[in-house]
């Protein structure tokens, strides 16, 4: 290969079989280097925040990480599976409420609460998705149905007395919390937990993407009928990915409620939460493992910056999300990750031209 116009690796599709026939050592090396550098930088920032950050910064980072990771869970279904949900608050809320109810009401360890929440959310996700898939509800309608499910949960929970109705549940803070209570006196412990959760979600995402399951998802996302024709059980694949996504989201709900020590129907189930979860992923890039985390970090950073420099109205946040999501829909369908990839390609092309001359 001599000219730069041939053998361009196809980075747009993740389907097996479209792997470039002749991989270019130069560019994939560059790619790996960039990924390593990005990962190292991220790790550095994470450590730096833990070591030097103020409590304020630590709190922001904790929430950004938790929501970024939940966004990553969303992206398994919304990105890899092509099931654009606007109802992930349902799973988040199930996780948070199950944990809070068991812990505050019955003294059950949040770790067990997490397990219970995860199971409940997975079942709920599987059932509702099975219905949607069964009746071929997709695209915008899928988003609508998921929105409706979450709203139903919000209305129900607002009317159930043991769950505190619209007042919510206050999680008691133990005077001497133990690890079993999932409560800590040092804010860095929550932060570490959020980091751990984010790592786990990222690893799950990568595993899902790279295995046969991910291949099936990608086939279903591309063309359902063709996937079915080639022997993929479409219904099972979609139900499974939503169950997984729901389970991982619910675990995030547990961490969140233990950290905030309070939950109410609005915080848990409102459409705002669902939209927030979806948008962080969309902005970061829903097809890439680190995309949602990057999106979450970017959004939190931007929000804070705007709050300090322009106005500290909570509407600032909403405005920012609105503008960002329109830009993503209009120009950057693959989010920040997509922008990064394009930049990388551009650098690669420049380098190549340089080497070739």
Partner 1 sequence: MDWQLVTQSLGGGILTGSVYGVAAVGLALVFGVVGVVNFAHGAMIMLGMYVVWYLHQWTSLDPFLLSLVAAVVGLGLGWFIQYVLVNKVMGTGQEGPLLVTVGISLIFVAVAEFVFSSNPRSVKPSYGDATFSVGPAQFSVTRLIAMLAAVAFTLALHNVLRKTDLGRSIRAVSQNRTAAQLMGLNVATVYAAAMALGAASAFFAGGVSASLLPVTPNAGLSLMLMSFVAAVLGGLGSIRGAFAAGIIVGLAEGAGALLLEGTLKTLVVFALFVLVLLLRPEGVFKR
Is 319 a binding residue for partner 1 by CB under 8 A? The answer is yes
Q: How far is the CB of 343 from partner 1 (least distance, A)?
A: 22
Is 314 a binding residue for partner 1 by CB under 8 A? The answer is yes
Is 322 a binding residue for partner 1 by CB under 8 A? The answer is yes
Q: How far is the CB of 121 from partner 1 (least distance, A)?
A: 18
DSSP state of 4: T
Distance CA 222, CA 13 (A): 9
Is 323 a binding residue for partner 1 by CB under 8 A? The answer is yes
Interface stretch with partner 1, choices 33-41, 132-140, 187-195, 288-296 (CB under 8 A): 132-140
Is 144 a binding residue for partner 1 by CB under 8 A? The answer is yes
Distance CA 250, CA 81 (A): 18
Is 328 a binding residue for partner 1 by CB under 8 A? The answer is yes
Q: How far is the CB of 16 from partner 1 (least distance, A)?
A: 23
Is 41 a binding residue for partner 1 by CB under 8 A? The answer is no
Query: Between the CA of residue 89 and those of 181, 330, 348, what are the distances in Å?
Result: 24, 25, 40
Q: Give the angle 300-285-320 at the CA atoms, nearest 5°.
A: 35
Distance CA 217, CA 186 (A): 41
Interface stretch with partner 1, choices 28-36, 129-137, 287-295, 344-352 (CB under 8 A): 129-137
Is 73 a binding residue for partner 1 by CB under 8 A? The answer is no
Nearer to partner 1, 91 or 321 (CB): 321
The size of the interface with partner 1 (CB under 8 A), counted in residues, is: 45
Contact assessment for residue 63 and residue 125, using Cβ atoms and an 8 Å cutoff: no
Name residues whose C-beta falls within 8 Å of residue 116's C-beta, 6 or more positions apart in sequence.
Answer: 98, 99, 102
Q: Return the residue of 189, 325, 339, 344 that touches partner 1, per CB under 8 A.
A: 325
Nearer to partner 1, 159 or 211 (CB): 159
Which of 64, 126, 100, 50 has its CA nearest to residue 294?
A: 64
Is 48 a binding residue for partner 1 by CB under 8 A? The answer is no
Distance CA 48, CA 58 (A): 10
Binding to partner 1 (CB under 8 A) within 182-211 occurs at none
Count other C-beta atoms under 10 Å from residue 309's C-beta: 8
Q: Give the angle 199-203-208 at the CA atoms, nearest 5°.
A: 150
Report how far apart the first and last C-alpha atoms of the chain are (Å, whole number). 14
Is 232 a binding residue for partner 1 by CB under 8 A? The answer is no
| Residues making contact with partner 1 (CB under 8 A) | 84, 86, 131-132, 134-141, 143-145, 147-149, 151-152, 155-156, 158-159, 271, 275, 279, 282, 311, 313-316, 318-319, 321-326, 328-330, 333
């Amino acid at each position: 290969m001599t000219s730069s116009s041939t053998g361009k690796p196809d980075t747009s599709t993740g389907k097996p079989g479209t792997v470039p026939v002749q991989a270019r050592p130069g560019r994939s090396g560059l790619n790996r280097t960039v990924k390593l550098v990005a990962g190292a930088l991220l790790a550095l920032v994470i450590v730096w925040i833990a070591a030097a950050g103020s409590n304020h910064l630590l709190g922001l980072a904790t929430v950004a990480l938790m929501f970024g990771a939940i966004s990553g869970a969303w992206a398994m279904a919304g990105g890899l599976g092509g099931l654009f949900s606007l109802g992930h608050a349902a799973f988040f809320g199930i996780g948070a409420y199950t944990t809070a109810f068991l812990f505050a009401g019955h003294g059950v360890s949040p770790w067990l609460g997490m397990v219970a929440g995860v199971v409940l959310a997975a079942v709920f996700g599987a059932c509702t998705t099975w219905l949607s898939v069964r009746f071929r509800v997709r695209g915008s309608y899928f988003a609508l149905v998921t929105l409706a499910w979450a709203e139903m949960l919000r209305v129900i929970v607002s009317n159930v007395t043991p769950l505190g109705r619209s007042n919510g549940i206050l999680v008691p803070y133990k005077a001497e919390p133990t690890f079993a209570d999932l409560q800590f006196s040092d804010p860095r412990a929550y932060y570490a937990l959020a980091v751990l959760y984010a790592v786990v979600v990222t690893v799950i995402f990568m595993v899902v993407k790279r295995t046969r399951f991910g291949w099936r998802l990608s086939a279903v996302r591309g063309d359902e009928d063709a996937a079915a024709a080639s022997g993929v059980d479409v219904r099972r694949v979609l139900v499974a990915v939503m169950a997984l996504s729901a389970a991982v989201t619910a675990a995030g709900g547990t961490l969140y409620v233990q950290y905030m020590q309070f939950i109410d129907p609005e915080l848990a189930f409102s459409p705002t939460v669902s939209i927030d979860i979806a948008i962080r992923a969309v902005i970061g890039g829903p097809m890439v493992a680190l995309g949602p985390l990057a999106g979450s970090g970017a959004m939190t950073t931007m929000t804070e910056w705007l709050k300090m420099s322009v106005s500290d109205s909570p509407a600032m946040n909403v405005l920012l999300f609105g503008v960002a999501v329109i830009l993503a829909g209009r120009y950057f369908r693959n989010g920040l990750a997509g922008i990064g990839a394009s930049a990388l390609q551009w650098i690669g092309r420049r380098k190549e031209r340089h080497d070739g001359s």
